[in-house]
Structure 1
């Protein structure tokens, strides 16, 4: 059994979850950034994973393992892309604010703090699951080496 594939799968999962945490952190850090009169300011972002199509039976050659080819194809392609969120701008009534418009409203990026916190929590849990999977694969590999060395 090739343990490098299981390590690579866990590493790819950890990388993806780290990106989710980084993006949520960036969104939360800029949640109260004021949108000035020019309109150019922080745009909330989100991580969009690429959808992988199932491996067609016709593309599998006689000596090729379906699971192995799916793993190699998945790990060779980018896992996700970062794109701007389409959340509407949040407006708050603050007439004394220097960036208030004529009606007294100040515009902030459309960051939902509850959603971002839930994203961070779920990404952290998924990261921990990938660490546990990698640790278990390492333990099994070490045990296999130990058993094989006693012969």
Structure 2
């Protein structure tokens, strides 16, 4: 694997984790939203990753090819939203329950920390590779 391939692999991970962070931000922004006029509340979304072969040539695997990551889908969590009894709420149903989103703020915070650390680690990998390439160039001086 060439040193330059590291940038492609880490770059794919940074891009994927960036999308994951954006999804988590959307989920956290909708923690306390209630069901709209159609009766459905916001549903938490999760990013689905898949391994992506990096450095393949002519449709086949290349010598020294590495595996990166790509986002293949963003799926909605189908668990029902939490219901709170509040008959005075303007969005309450006939039984007096208000349906909130199914977003779990604790899980989303853990997801955010994990995505943030993965993002930071991949940036550090790219910075280390850059530093090694610069030192290699300096050997010839």
CA distance in 2, matches of 1:93, 1:124: 36
Does 2:45 align with 1:45?
yes
Q: Report how far residue 4 of structure 1 moved.
A: 2.0
2:57 matched to which residue of 1? none
- Computed over aligned residues only, the root mean square deviation of the Cα atoms, in angstroms, reads 2.3
With over 3 angstroms needed to count, the CA separation of the structure-2 counterparts of 1:51 and 1:2, relative to structure 1, is: closer
CA distance in 2, matches of 1:17, 1:42: 22
Q: Which has the higher strand share?
A: 2
2:30 matched to which residue of 1? 30
SS in 1 for 2:74: strand
* TM-score, with length taken from structure 2: 0.84
Structure 2 contact 41–99 (Cα < 8 Å) conserved: no
With over 3 angstroms needed to count, the CA separation of the structure-2 counterparts of 1:17 and 1:133, relative to structure 1, is: same
With over 3 angstroms needed to count, the CA separation of the structure-2 counterparts of 1:52 and 1:145, relative to structure 1, is: closer
1:24-66 residue CA offsets vs partner (Å, 9 max, x unmatched): 110110111110342244332110112569xxxxxx78xx42x
Q: Which of 85, 91, 94 is 1:93 aligned to? A: 85
Q: Report how far residue 130 of structure 1 moved.
A: 0.4
CA distance in 2, matches of 1:98, 1:129: 46
1:57 matched to which residue of 2? none
Instruction: Give aligned pairs, total.
Output: 136
Which one has more relative contact order, counting CA pairs under 8 Å at least 6 apart?
Answer: 1
Q: Report how far residue 2 of structure 1 moved.
A: 2.8
2:136 matched to which residue of 1? 144
**Gap regions ≥5 residues in structure 2:** 54-59
CA distance in 1, matches of 2:36, 2:138: 64
CA distance in 1, matches of 2:138, 2:16: 33
